[in-house]
Chains A and B, each alone.
Chain A
Amino acid sequence: MKVHVDLSVCQSHGQCVLAADQVFRLDDELNLHYDPEPPDEFRAEVEEAAQMCPTQAITVDPEV
């Protein structure tokens, strides 16, 4: 699966990290890092992260 985060919209609230810490991580400066092509087994977690993102910055399987 593919994941895209619009980092110009991301506010580093960290809700995605709590939903899917296998895919999303905040560093000490609160910058978001993520795996843009996570394994399919994390799909449910990633979709929850996308749905719950306070700024709706996460897109799952974006149509290119």
Chain B
Amino acid sequence: MWFDPHTVCFAEDPYPLYRRLRDDFPVYHWQEGDESLWILSRYDDVSEALGDWRTFSSIGSLSNRRPAPGARGAAHAHQLITTDPPYHDELRRVVRESFSPKAIHTLEGKIERDVGIWLSGLRSRETIDIAADVAWPMTLAIISDIIGIPEEDRSDVLSWYQTAEYSEAADQSAQALSSYTDYFDQLGSERLARPRDDLISHLMSAVARAELSRPDALVLCKDLFEGGVDVPANLIANAVLSLADHPEQRAFLANGDVTQVRLGIEELARFDSPIQAIPRVTTDSITRCGVVIPPGETVVLVLGAANRDGRRFADPDTLDVSRPGTRNVAFGAGVHFCIGAPLARLEARVALPKLLAAIPDYKVVAPVERPGSDVMRALLNLELAVPAGKARVGAASR
């Protein structure tokens, strides 16, 4: 078996495989026992499928796969990623104002201060775990503020989530999952009784007004937590890894203006996308490259492969943070476009230049290990060696 959709995303380097899929098997049919998956990997095919929710439905798209922790054991709850319009839009409408680019924009000053605090903890360190010590705790703090998770609970909640999502030990994972689920259930009840000005109170008041079911509200809240911590943390950690061999591009980002950094983040998201693949289910028979995919089949859209397609991006395997802006599919597209994209982009845009200014020189300490996932290209740890005395915290911020 030269291609296994269940392990490819956390392979050390999946990109040669993706190239072979795009060039030789643009519509690849994978079958093992009763399981059947179709893989689309070219930019145009992935992009068109993302834009066509009627043919490429999200309903039932997770039935073949392990659901994210928040949705496990809540099989009947609706999620943004398992619904289509019109219900999808109703669900999204409840939270979309909280995640709109305008709303997120108002967080910029606060994120800047938070980043400063996280970076000041790095002073005079010789090794830094940029994922576990910076990227994850920073994104955890920001999304927890939005949702309303009290400070003293955050590290527990993150640890339950990471264990439930990424641990290979089934008993540990099950135990963490139950703590995680119970926690949100209790927090929901608490806010239903004593609302505050936070997202979980907002969701629970929609439950009280019978606009949303309680299971849907809690799963939505957990999904927003998971996407809100995992995607930006991995965007930042993957970016630091991608930039390790490119000191001139690090300097460009550390000194770039807002537009340059914004486009640089798009390039980093394209080059090593946190979300590598998302599934859809066909509602009709479709023909691509002369191959017929019947209705009712699971089609995996490999965002990570589409983003490296030479038919779309010149010299796709070269990282170039000054690349002119070209839309990529790192955050999806169409009606299911990542609701947290404005937040992830803002966090990366604020954090990365400051981080690169504080640590202008670093080496990645091998080996880099990625946890198991068939969706996320994740880094829970990324150890950097920083030459002694080179961390310039507070000295070179923009």
A interface, CB within 8 angstroms of B:
11-15, 18-19, 21, 29-30, 48, 51-56
Contact = CB atoms under 8 A, between A and B. Distances in A.
A53 to B, nearest CB: 8
Contacts of B336: 54
Q: Which 5 A-B pairs have the closest CB atoms?
A: A54-B337, A18-B327, A51-B51, A52-B333, A12-B101
B327 A30 contact: no
B326 interface: yes
Contacts of B47: 48, 51-52
Interface in B87-110: 96, 100-102, 105
Interface string B297-335: 000000000000000000000000000011100000111
Interface in B55-107: 96, 100-102, 105
Contacts, number: 47
B3 to A, nearest CB: 28
A52 B101 contact: no
A45 B333 CA distance: 15
21 contacts: A11-B100, A11-B101, A12-B100, A12-B101, A12-B102, A15-B327, A15-B337, A18-B325, A18-B327, A19-B327, A21-B325, A51-B47, A51-B333, A52-B47, A52-B51, A52-B333, A53-B334, A54-B334, A54-B335, A54-B337, A55-B335
Contacts of B326: 18
Nearest to A19: B327
Nearest to B327: A18
A16 to B, nearest CB: 9
Interface string B34-53: 00000000000001101100
Given A18-B325, A21-B325, A52-B50, A11 B341 contact: no
Contacts of B101: 11-14, 30
A-side interface mostly: loop
A51 to B, nearest CB: 4
B105 A30 contact: yes
Contacts of B105: 30
A13 B51 contact: no
B342 interface: yes
Contacts of B334: 51-54, 56
Nearest to B99: A11
B266 interface: yes
Nearest to A55: B335
Contacts of B266: 18
B335 A48 contact: no
Contacts of B48: 51
A14 B326 CA distance: 12
Contacts of A29: 102
Contacts of B325: 18, 21
Contacts of A19: 327
A52 B342 contact: no
A31 to B, nearest CB: 9
A49 to B, nearest CB: 8
Given A13-B337, A15-B337, A21-B325, 13 more contacts: A11-B96, A12-B100, A13-B342, A19-B327, A29-B102, A51-B47, A51-B51, A51-B334, A52-B47, A52-B50, A52-B51, A53-B334, A54-B333
